[in-house]
Amino acid sequence: MDCSNVVFRGHAVQRMFERGISKTQVIEVINLGEQIDDYRDDKPYPSVLLLGCVDGIAIHVVLGIDPESKTCYVITVYQPDPGIWRSDFRRRLK
């Protein structure tokens, strides 16, 4: 992901704390993870859903991206629930 600046929103920080996910892990997903969905119509910026495996844990990061400033906003972070996601955590179960 092309981010010159990463901003962690309050909601994301709260969820990271509750879920035991560190900023270092989130940055690794941003830098090395795979984009598995995009939400072009999100406001105020389009966003993407990233999947990464860090320390043996699958992590989803929702990232809003300001294309002009290349600032990325971490909206939320979570471990995908196997009851909702397929085993590869790339697609939701039908």
| Domain locations along the chain | 5-78
The β-bridge relationship of strands 71-78 and 47-54 is unpaired
Residues 6+ away with beta carbon under 8 Å from 44: 64
3-state secondary structure of 17: helix
Give the burial class of 78: count Cβ atoms within 10 A of its Cβ; 0-12 exposed, 13-18 middle, 19 or more buried. Answer: middle
Q: Which of 10, 43, 35, 13 is nearest to 26 (CA)?
A: 13
Average pLDDT over every residue of 31-35: 95
Choices 3.90.1640.30, 3.40.720.10, 3.40.630.30, 3.30.2310.20: CATH for 5-78? 3.30.2310.20
pLDDT tens per residue across span 34-74: 999 999 999 999 999 999 999 899 999 999 999 899 999 99
Position 3 confidence tier, pLDDT thresholds 50, 70, 90: confident
Q: Which of 44, 67, 63 is nearest to 52 (CA)?
A: 63
Question: pTM above the 0.85 mark?
Answer: yes
